Structure 1
Amino acid sequence: MADIFDVVADSTRRDILAVLLERERGVPQSGGEISVSDIVTALGASQPTVSKHLKVLRESGLVAVREEGQHRYYKLDRGPLETLEDWLIPFLSSDAAADAAALAGVESNGEIALNDDQRAFASAIGKAFADTAHQVTAVVAPKRRRLIGD
């Protein structure tokens, strides 16, 4: 089985996971299930490409599949995402921020004192995050609307 970080590193697989999440939230009566053809339509990708990525997601345990005749219905399985969550939590928790403040020193107004290199690095990360968030929203929002009929 591939490392979970390698699995979610691929943008097409992240897009598929986003479609599955939107299906789960937007159409609760579906039980979160969506057909391969609906995923293909939502992403505007070819069926072989989507199937290839669904196989990787299935093998990593991130999706579950139900077969009905020749049709396959996929849904999100959050279990393996706990590995990602466990890794991220220390970076996101308030304790991590307090630890960083203790290591970096804190200014009198409570803000962490950063040197020029740290400030430049933080700025670059913030810009990269904002650009990525914008790109994901620009791609996913129209497909989400088509998928759930908004």
Structure 2
Amino acid sequence: MTDIFDVIADGTRRDILQLLLRHMSEGETGTSVSQIVADLGISQPTVSKHLKVLRDAELVSVREDGQRRFYSLAVEPLGVVDDWLVPFLVDAYGDAAPDIDYPGGPLPDSAAHAAEVVGRAAASAKHVVTSALKRFGG
């Protein structure tokens, strides 16, 4: 499998992922190649090349409808990036970590607070255990 960090290191691929995220948050069930070309102002062959890389990394899924293909974001593989990044945020900010602007639909306040508390606790616990294991040669 391709290293996820190599895949998202390319600015055009990040632009495509952000576009797919925005369309998904607007309720769309897939975005056509022609829509990606129009929205980003890049050539169809370039978009197709980058979509192949994103497909191979399982960051997008594709649905065929006749001759057209519709792409959707698959966020699960980004968990690797999240797992790598969270300890840095916990070390740098602790409980004062900045809020992350997510363009998805808003959560109710109680659900957002619960998700934040659980997420920070899990990240902190994982970091503590990982650090302890490293200190003790585990």
* TM-score, structure 2 normalization: 0.65
Letter in 2 for 1:97: A
Letter in 2 for 1:88: L
Cα separation, 1, equivalents of 2:93 and 2:36: 42
Residue number in structure 1 paired with 2:84: 87
Quote the offset at 1:97 in angstroms. 3.2
Q: Does 1:71 align with 2:68?
A: yes
Quote the offset at 1:50 in angstroms. 0.1
Residues 8-87 of structure 1 correspond to what in structure 2 (within 5 A)?
A: 8-25=8-25, 27-28=26-27, 30-31=28-29, 33-87=30-84
Residues 101-120 of structure 1 correspond to what in structure 2 (within 5 A)?
A: none
Runs of 4+ in 1 over 4 A off after TM superposition: none
Letter in 1 for 2:12: T
Where in structure 2 are there 5+ consecutive unaligned residues?
95-138
Letter in 1 for 2:17: L
Post-superposition Cα deviations, 1:13-71, rounded to whole Å, max 9, x if no partner, equal: 0000011011011x21x22x110100000110000000000000000000000011110
Percentage of identical aligned residues = 59
Residue number in structure 2 paired with 1:134: none
Residue number in structure 2 paired with 1:4: 4
Q: CA RMSD in A?
A: 1.3
Tell me the number of residue pairs that the alignment of Structure 1 and Structure 2 aligns.
94
Larger radius of gyration: 1
Quote the offset at 1:98 in angstroms. 7.2
Post-superposition Cα deviations, 1:91-119, rounded to whole Å, max 9, x if no partner, equal: 112xx1379xxxxxxxxxxxxxxxxxxxx
Quote the offset at 1:2 in angstroms. 1.4
Letter in 1 for 2:47: V
SS in 1 for 2:6: helix
Cα separation, 2, equivalents of 1:48 and 1:4: 22
